[in-house]
Amino acid sequence: MGKIHTPHGTIDTPAFMPVGTQATVKALTPEDLLSCGVQVILGNTYHLYLRPGHEIIQNLGGLHRFMNWNGPILTDSGGFQIFSLNKLARVTEEGATFQSHLDGSSHFFTPEKAIEVQTSLGSDIIMPLDEPLAYPATWAEAEASLKLSTRWALRCREAHRSPSQALFGIVQGGMFKDLREQSAEQIVALDFPGYAIGGLSVGEDIELMREMARHTALLLPENKPRYLMGVGTPADLLAGSGMGIDMFDCVMPTRNARNGTLFTAKGKINIRNARFKTDPNPVDPNCDCYTCRNFSLAYLRHLFLADEILSMHLNTLHNIAFYQRWMKNIRDTIRADRPFDLAWTDDPAVTPGHPEFP
């Protein structure tokens, strides 16, 4: 447990960052985010570079002013999207060539370009360009990828000129512990102010993901922030916090909300289920979010089945509030030096009979 100080505020850790891909956390206003207890959000360099363009955002006062969010913002480098949205993306030592998923136009991203774009955006924490590794991959493929990512990380550090932005390093290495050790040694030697664990939650099973995350976290300095990228479920956040990880991000709470899946202290529920048709209760009696204070499960089910826009808003508001309360409970548990007592399950058929935490 700790604090990360940024020009736009302090982040209490461990913290969960809602994903604001295109300068918005889908279906929520900045006021909604604050009401949920959100401290920091994540923006996406790839998407903002393509639309509306980083120069436009810079000319309009930077990403904070553009989206009217006065708290901390972390932006990723866009590397994951370059490779996941472009089957024909081509990598050389110099950088990555890719086509826009919007209009097919050709673009070329170098490590220096990734820093330039993020500098224009004005985010508080920025990430170096790396080469995300497909899963599964061979040892040789993982080694080549991590070495390229290390060379790109060095170029990003050399291109980084903004003292108000913290550039984190990213550890790669696939699902191989020895390569994770090699990558961590190289990246830590570059002396970044924080470190991310990349290349996980890309198709491997949960136990392997957690094993690699735990192994990698132990290789990173305890006095600097550790960020597990793209993870995950409430159970993953609890497990990661127990490993000493400080920051998490994932689209799960917002994407699930739009699909009608809501998180509660007793697991997930599907709002489409017929048993909620006449249910007068809130989603979660332990939740004090606007949704749970004002609306019944029956109403939320009606909105979702009627394809009303309000459904996305109320569902997302609840899920983000749940995630933030979950992280606060984890922080409180760490502060009180109590053992974790997980009462949330990924299996909606299982209903644990305990409170969230002791």
24-53 pLDDT per residue, tens: 999 999 999 999 999 999 999 999 999 999
The CATH number of 2-250 is which of 3.40.800.10, 3.20.20.105, 3.30.70.141, 3.30.2130.10? 3.20.20.105
pLDDT for the residue 84: 86
Residue 352 has pLDDT above 70, yes or no: no
Q: Within 10 A of 61 (CB to CB), how many other CB atoms are there?
A: 10
pLDDT (mean) for 262-282? 96
pLDDT in tens, 217-227: 999 999 999 99
Residue 293 has pLDDT above 80, yes or no: yes
CB 344 within 8 A of CB 356: yes
pLDDT for the residue 9: 98
Residue 349 has pLDDT above 80, yes or no: no
Cis-peptide into 132, omega within 30 deg: no
List CB contacts of 339: < 8 A, sequence separation 6 or more: 333
Instruction: Give me the residue spans of the domains in the chain.
Output: 2-250, 256-335
Q: What is the Cα–Cα distance from 297 to 280, expressed in whole angstroms? A: 6
List CB contacts of 285: < 8 A, sequence separation 6 or more: 292
Residue 161 has pLDDT above 80, yes or no: yes
pLDDT (mean) for 276-283? 98
The least confident of 81-90, 95-104, 195-204 is 81-90
pLDDT (mean) for 172-188? 98
- Report the share of the chain in percent with pLDDT over 90: 89
Q: Within 10 A of 186 (CB to CB), how many other CB atoms are there?
A: 19
At 1, the pLDDT band (50, 70, 90 cuts) reads confident
Mean pLDDT score across all residues of the chain: 94
pLDDT for the residue 152: 98
Which residues does the annotation mark as catalytic?
A: 76, 249
